[in-house]
Copies of this chain bind each other. A is one copy, B any other.
Amino acid sequence: MILLHHLRIGRSLFTVWQLEELGIEYGLKVYHRHPETFLAPPELKAVHPLGKSPVLEDGDLLLSESSAITTYLLEKFDTENKFSPPREDIANWANFTQWLHYPEGSVFCPLLVKMLLLRSKQPHITLTPYSERETALHLSHIANQLGDNENILGDKFTAADFGMTYVVSLAKRLGLLDSYTSLNDYLERNLARPAFKQAVEKAVE
C-alpha cells in the first residue's frame, strides 16, 4: 500500500489532497515541526536523506519532489486521464507539464524568501527587491493564465491545480493576495472541494 510521510505544516497536505482526489487507498505517517525552529524532525531523515516531506513510499519505491510524486501517481493510477490530458495530445500534455513544474520550479523560491524575510523582520538589500519583484511577476502571471476560468488550465480541474493551489495558499498566508480577487476565489473554490476537506480531516491533527 501507498504510505505518505506527511510533515505538518506544509506542502504535503496538498499531496494528501491528491491521494483523496485520485481515490487511492493510502496510509499516512504524520511528523511535526520543531516548535521554535520550524524545521522537520530528525525522524524524517531516517525515511529519506533530505529529511523533508512529502515522501511517498510504494513498496520498495521511495519518492520525493512533490511534482514527481504527482507525475508518478498520475501514471500509475489515473489511467483514464481524469486529471491530465492524454500524452497523445502532445501540445496540451506539454502545456500541462509546464504548469505542473511551474509552482515548485519558479514560484516557490521567491515566496520562501519572502517568508524568511518576514519571519526575521529584517529587509535585505538584494533579497527584498528580488522577492517583491518575483512574487508580483508570478502572481500576475498566474492571474492572467487563470483569467475568468475556474481552473488553471480552463474549465477542467487537473493535477496542475494541486501545486498551483499550494503556492497561491502560501501567497495568501504571506499577505500577498490582496489585489488578486480571482486568485482568492480560485483558492476558496479548491479548498472547498470535498477531497481537500477529507484530506484536512485525515491529515490535520
Chain B residues lying within 8 Å of A81, measured Cβ to Cβ, are: none
Interface size on A, residues (CB 8 A): 48
Q: Give bound CA distance, A138 to B141, whole Å.
A: 29
- The answer to whether A173 has its CB under 8 Å from any CB of chain B is no
Q: Which A residues, 100 to 143, have Cβ-Cβ distances below 8 Å to chain B?
A: 100-102, 104-106, 108-109, 112-113, 116-117, 119-120, 122, 124-127, 130, 137-138, 141
* B98→A63 contact, CB < 8 A: yes
Known: A72-B97, A117-B126. 6 other contacts (CB 8 A): A51-B137, A61-B95, A109-B109, A109-B113, A116-B126, A120-B126
Query: CB-CB contacts of A27-50 with B at 8 A, as 1s and 0s?
Result: 000000000000000000000011
